[in-house]
Amino acid sequence: MNKKSLTMKAALAALTCTVCVSSMNAQKQYPKQEGMTPGMSEYWTPQPKVVTPGDIKTNTAPSDAIVLFDGKDLSAWESVSGGPAQWNVHDGVFTVNKKAGDIQTKQKFNNYQLHIEWCVPKNISGESQGRGNSGIFMQGMYEIQILDCYNNETYVNGQTGSIYKQTPPLANAMRKPGEWNVYDIIYSAPIFKEDGTYRVPPRVTVIQNGIVLQNNTTILGTTEYVGFPKVVKHDAGPIILQSHGDPSEPISFRNVWLREL
Q: At 141, which amino acid appears?
A: M
**Measured from the CB atom, is 214 or 242 closer to Mg ion?**
242
Q: How far is the CB of 83 from Mg ion (least distance, A)?
A: 23
Residue 134 and residue 146 in contact, taking contact as beta carbons nearer than 8 Å: yes
Using a 10 angstrom Cβ sphere, with 0-12 exposed, 13-18 middle and 19 or more buried, the burial of residue 239 is: buried
- Residue 28 has φ and ψ, to the nearest 5°, of -70, 135
- Which is closer to Mg ion, CB of 65 or CB of 239? 239
In the bound complex, what is the minimum distance in angstroms from residue 242's beta carbon to Mg ion? 5
Q: How far is the CB of 129 from Mg ion (least distance, A)?
A: 8
Residue closer to Mg ion (CB basis): 242 or 248: 242
Q: Are 174 and 147 in contact (CB under 8 A)?
A: no
**For Mg ion, which is the closer residue by CB, 159 or 242?**
242
By CB under 5 A, name the binding residues for Mg ion: 133, 135, 242
Q: How far is the CB of 223 from Mg ion (least distance, A)?
A: 9
Q: Kindly report the CA angle at 25 between 23 and 27, in degrees rounded to 5?
A: 75
Identify which of residues 160 and 217 has a Cβ nearer to Mg ion in the complex.
160
Q: How far apart are CB 231 and Mg ion at their closest, in Å?
A: 21
Instruction: Burial-class residue 125 by CB neighbours within 10 Å (0-12, 13-18, 19+).
Output: middle
